[in-house]
């Protein structure tokens, strides 16, 4: 009987921990690509040698329009953690970290806005 109690005291909390999944709470307002996301990208990513109009490198192509953002699975609508842009702006070190060390990082509010936009379906609005 003691073994049963010990096992239950271990497995019941573990079960609730594993089974408890929280869906993110989305705001009622739709995040606007044109008014909110695009200005962040333009101000933070289009530096000389990065994602500006003069860049010719495959890794540093310009990101200016909605089509640029959606190209090459940079954004997977509804899935921020599968979207390369979100992965890059949340990286804390390494080659994938964007913007690079030479430029200021996005604020937590900017990152949250991009996250919500992607989670809401990354609409061209």
Q: What is the pTM of this model?
A: 0.69
Tokens describing residue 69 = 């953002």
In the prediction, which pLDDT does 106 show? 84
Largest CA distance in the chain: 73
Residue partners of 2: CB distance under 8 A and separation at least 6? none
CA distance linking residue 119 with residue 31, whole number of Å = 10
Using one digit for the tens of pLDDT, what is the confidence trace for 112-122?
999 999 999 99
pLDDT of 63 above 60 = yes
| Least confident span in 36-50, 63-77, 99-113 | 36-50
Concatenate the DSSP letters of all residues of 65-92 into one string: SHHHHHGGGS--TT-GGG-HHHHHHH--
In the prediction, which pLDDT does 43 show? 77
CB-CB neighbours of 105 under 10 Å: 16
């Amino acid at each position: 009987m003691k073994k049963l109690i010990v096992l239950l005291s271990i497995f019941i909390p573990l079960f609730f921990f594993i089974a408890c999944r929280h869906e993110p709470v989305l705001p009622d307002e739709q995040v606007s690509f044109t008014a909110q996301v695009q200005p962040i990208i333009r101000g933070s990513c289009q530096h000389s040698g990065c994602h500006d109009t003069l860049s010719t490198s495959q890794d540093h192509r310009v990101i200016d329009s909605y089509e640029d953002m959606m190209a090459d699975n940079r954004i997977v609508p509804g899935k921020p953690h599968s979207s390369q842009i979100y992965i890059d702006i949340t990286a804390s070190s390494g080659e994938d970290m964007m913007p690079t060390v030479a430029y200021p990082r996005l604020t937590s509010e900017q990152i949250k806005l991009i996250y919500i936009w992607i989670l809401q379906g990354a609409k061209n609005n």
